[in-house]
Structure 1
Amino acid sequence: MSEPIYITVDGDMLDDIAFRVYGDESMVTAILDANPGLVDQPLNLSYGISIKLPAAPEKKTSNSITSVWG
């Protein structure tokens, strides 16, 4: 299965893309790892850059229940 692709519009920024796609700006690192050439791009990206979107990490879930009454 191939990674989804995001096509930039003028003025896109990686942290904004990470937040819109993943809800987490820290995913910029994963995006850069999947797209090494982006490091050479300006902060405000231009129109038409294809960006591979890596899979989001699995969220850890907890099965423990905390009682409010102690």
Structure 2
Amino acid sequence: MTNVQRVTPVLEQAIAALLNRAEYGDTVSIKAALKEIRQAAPYLVASDEELTEAVVEVSAAMGLSQ
């Protein structure tokens, strides 16, 4: 059993800031986004799976996913 932790609103804001750099219609690499998040917040304890889910959720909320 895994203990899934919800990412914080601050992290969601950071993800949104990263996604805001993309132009409309650009493809955003999850791998590149994870790398940027890890570099910006090396202390982060969230797993890659949790971060991937957060990136997808934030991009959907921003209307970036199709």
TM range (shorter): 0.3 to 0.5
Q: Give TM-score, length-normalised by structure 2.
A: 0.37
Greater strand fraction, Structure 1 or Structure 2: 1
Please, what TM-score do these two structures have when normalized by structure 1? Answer: 0.36
